Amino acid sequence: MSRITSFARIAALVSIVATGDALHAQFLSPFATQVVNYSPGTGGGVFVAANALGAPSGGGLGNGSTNVATLGVGGSLTLGFDLTIANGPGVDFTVCENPFVFAGESFSEVAYVEVSTDGVAFARLPSRYTGPNTGLPSFTAPFGTYGGLCGAMPVSANPATNTLDPLEPAWAGGDGFDLADLAHDPLVTSGVVNLGAIHFVRIVDVPHGVGTDAAGNVIWDNSGVTGTADIDAVCVIQHTGTVVAGQPVIDLFLDAQGYLNLSVEDPDGAGDLDGNSIHCSFNGAPIGFRTLARRLVPNVTPTAHGYVLRSNTPVAGSGQHGVVTVSARDLAGHFSADQLSFGG
C-alpha cells in the first residue's frame, strides 16, 4: 500500500468515526439521565430524585412545575448524563427549577450549581446576589437579583404540553450556566476539573440568610428558613458533539464602564448568521430582537465578524434589574446562546 493511499484511508476512517460520533450523540438524551447521589435535607417538598431526570415540565411564567425533586434544607442532588457537557460559547447547560412570576417579579428558591469531571471534585459556579442585605421585603424578588444560581428563572418548555425546544434557553426558560466562568477556579487550572469534559452536575441548597455568594454577600430568597429549591431538569446545551470552531458566538456582558453589551458574531462572518434564528427574552418573556435592541442596546457597532450592541447609559449601579437571554444559529445550524442577569 502506498503512503498516499494509507493516509487517504486513515483520513476517511477519521471522517467516518467523527460522523459516527455526531450521529451517536443525536440518539443520546440531552437531559440528566442518572441520579448519582441524592442527600435530601429537612423540610417539606417532593422528595423524588427521579423527577429531576429527563426533559423539563415547565408551567410557564405564572406556574411552577410540581414534577420536581426537592433539595431540602442542607440537601444536595448530583446528576449524571449521557452526553459530555463541554465549554462552548455562552450557555453550556441550564438548570430548570420551578419559580414563577407574581406582580412582575420572581418567586425564587435558589441553589448553588457545581460541576465535575470525575464525580469527586466539584467546582462551584460563581454566584451573585444583589438584593437587600437584611432579606427581601416581599414575596418575590426583582429579576436580576440572582446570578450564577439556579431557581430564579421560570421555565416554559414542556414537551408534554407545548412545542418549545428545551434546548433553546431564550424561549425555554431556566437558569443558564457558562463553564467559562470557572476558567480561574483552582480545580480547573490544576486540571482536576476539565471544562471540556463535564460528566456531573451537583445542585446544593443555599442556607437561607447564611449562605454567601462569590463576593461574600449573604444570600436571601423567597422561601424562608424552611423552603428550598425544587429541581425539575438539567438541559445540556453545549456538549462534545456541538462545540465546533465555526459556531456563532453570542456574548452578553457589562463592560468596564457598566454598559450593557450584546455581541453577535460568527467566525465565518456576519453573513453566516441566520437572522431568522435570533431569539430573545427579557425576564423570561419572549421579545423580538429589534425590540430588545431598541429598548436595551440601541447603539450598534459593526465588527469583523458581526456586530456589538451597547446601551445608552450604564446599567451597573443604575438600580435597573433584569435577565436577558439571546440565542442564534448559523446557516449550518450550529448554535450559541447567552444569558445575563443584572441588578443593583
pTM, whole model, 2 decimals? 0.92
Look up the CATH number of domain 249-342: 2.60.40
pLDDT at 226: 86
pLDDT at 24: 53
DSSP string, 195-218: TT-EEEEEEEE--TTT-B-TTSPB
pLDDT at 261: 99
The ranges of the chain with pLDDT < 50 are 1-21
Retrieve residue 159's grid coordinates: 414537551
pLDDT at 307: 97
Rounded Cα gap, residues 45 and 230, in angstroms:
8
pLDDT at 98: 97
pLDDT at 14: 34
pLDDT at 234: 99
- Per residue in 4-56, pLDDT (tens digit) is 333 333 333 333 334 444 555 668 999 999 999 999 999 999 999 999 999 99
pLDDT at 63: 94
pLDDT at 54: 99
DSSP SS3 for 316: coil
Retrieve residue 240's grid coordinates: 462534545
Rounded Cα gap, residues 272 and 170, in angstroms:
20
Where in the chain is CATH 2.60.40?
A: 249-342
Question: Which stretches does DSSP call E strand in 11-99?
Answer: 32-39, 69-70, 76-85, 93-96
DSSP string, 222-273: SSTTT---EE-EEEE-SBTTT--TT--EEEEEE-TT--EEEEEE-TT-GGGB
Q: Checking phi first, is residue 323 left (phi over 0); if not, alpha (psi -120 to 50) or beta?
A: beta
